[in-house]
Structure 1
Amino acid sequence: MQRLEEFNMSNNEAIIASKAKRGRKAANLRQYALIFIMIGLFVVFTCLTNAFFTPDNLLNMFRQVSMICIVGVGMTMIIILGDIDLSPGSVMAFVGVMGATVYKMTQSPFLTLVFSLAIGAGVGFVNGFITAKGRIPAFITTLATMQIFRGISFIYTGGNPVSVFDEGFTQFGTGYVGAIPLPVVLMAAVVVVGIFITQYTRFGRHIYAVGGNSKASQWSGISVDRIKIGVFTLSGLFTGLAGLVMAARLGSGQPSAADGFEMDVIAAVILGGASLAGGRGTIFGTVIGVIIIGVLANGLTLLDVSSYWQQVVKGLIIVVAVLIDTKSRKKA
Structure 2
Amino acid sequence: MSETLTAQAPAPEAARPKTRRRAPETLALLVFLVAEVIFFSVKSPYFLNWDNWGNILTAVSITGVLAMAGTLVMVGGQFDLSVGSGVAFVGIVLVQAAPVLGIWPALGLAVLAGLGIGLLNGFLVTVVGVNALITTLGMLGIFRGLTLVIGKGQSIFIEGFDWATARPFLGIPMPAVVLVVVVAVFFVLMRFTVFGRKVYAIGANPVAARLVGIRVNRVLFAGFLLSGACMALAGLMVTSQLGSSSANTGVGLELAVVTAVILGGTSLSGGTGTIGGTVVGLLIVGVLSNGLTLLNVDSSWQQVATGVLLILAVAVDRLRQTYMRRNG
TM-score by length of 2: 0.91
Q: Which residue in the other structure is 1:6 paired with?
A: none
Q: Which residue in the other structure is 2:49 paired with?
A: 54
Instruction: Please report how far the alpha carbon of residue 310 of structure 1 lies from its aligned counterpart in structure 2 after TM superposition.
Output: 1.2
The answer to whether the 8 Å contact 1:267/1:318 transfers is yes
The answer to whether the 8 Å contact 1:98/1:253 transfers is no
Mapping 1:148-167, distance limit 5 Å = 148-166=142-160
2:166 is equivalent to residue 175 of structure 1: yes
Label 1:254 to 1:16 Cα distance change in 2 as closer, same or farther (>3 A): farther
2:116 is equivalent to residue 122 of structure 1: yes
Report Cα offsets for 1:86-125 as digits up to 9, x if no partner.
Answer: 11110000001112223333443x5444433322122111
Counterpart AA for 1:143: L
2:72 is equivalent to residue 81 of structure 1: no
- Quick one: distance in 2 between partners of 1:17 and 1:199? 22
Q: Which residue in the other structure is 1:142 paired with?
A: 136
2:107 is equivalent to residue 103 of structure 1: no
Q: More deviation in 302-311 or 61-70?
A: 302-311
CA RMSD of aligned residues (A): 1.7
2:206 is equivalent to residue 214 of structure 1: yes
2:268 is equivalent to residue 273 of structure 1: no
Counterpart AA for 1:55: W
Report Cα offsets for 1:5-26 as digits up to 9, x if no partner.
Answer: xxxxxxxx989956x51xx422
Q: Which residue in the other structure is 1:9 paired with?
A: none
Instruction: Please report how far the alpha carbon of residue 305 of structure 1 lies from its aligned counterpart in structure 2 after TM superposition.
Output: 0.9
SS at match of 1:274: coil
2:302 is equivalent to residue 310 of structure 1: yes
Q: Which residue in the other structure is 1:193 paired with?
A: 185
- Quick one: distance in 2 between partners of 1:17 and 1:249? 52
- Quick one: distance in 2 between partners of 1:15 and 1:125? 44
2:63 is equivalent to residue 68 of structure 1: yes
Q: Which residue in the other structure is 1:8 paired with?
A: none
Label 1:15 to 1:98 Cα distance change in 2 as closer, same or farther (>3 A): farther
- Quick one: distance in 1 between partners of 2:157 and 2:304? 33
Instruction: Please report how far the alpha carbon of residue 154 of structure 1 lies from its aligned counterpart in structure 2 after TM superposition.
Output: 0.8
Counterpart AA for 1:176: R
2:31 is equivalent to residue 40 of structure 1: no
Label 1:16 to 1:310 Cα distance change in 2 as closer, same or farther (>3 A): farther
Instruction: Please report how far the alpha carbon of residue 257 of structure 1 lies from its aligned counterpart in structure 2 after TM superposition.
Output: 1.0
Matching residue within 252, 255, 258 for 2:250? 258
Matching residue within 235, 239, 263 for 1:243? 235
Counterpart AA for 1:147: G
Number of aligned residue pairs: give it. 313
Report Cα offsets for 1:244-286 as digits up to 9, x if no partner.
Answer: 1111111102111111111011000000000001000011111
Work out the percentage of aligned pairs sharing the same amino acid.
Answer: 36
Instruction: Please report how far the alpha carbon of residue 176 of structure 1 lies from its aligned counterpart in structure 2 after TM superposition.
Output: 2.1
The runs of at least 4 aligned residues of structure 1 exceeding 6 Å deviation read 13-16
Instruction: Please report how far the alpha carbon of residue 329 of structure 1 lies from its aligned counterpart in structure 2 after TM superposition.
Output: 1.5
Counterpart AA for 2:294: L
2:224 is equivalent to residue 232 of structure 1: yes
Counterpart AA for 1:177: P
Instruction: Please report how far the alpha carbon of residue 134 of structure 1 lies from its aligned counterpart in structure 2 after TM superposition.
Output: 1.5
SS at match of 1:156: helix
Report Cα offsets for 1:289-319 as digits up to 9, x if no partner.
Answer: 1111000000001111111111111111111
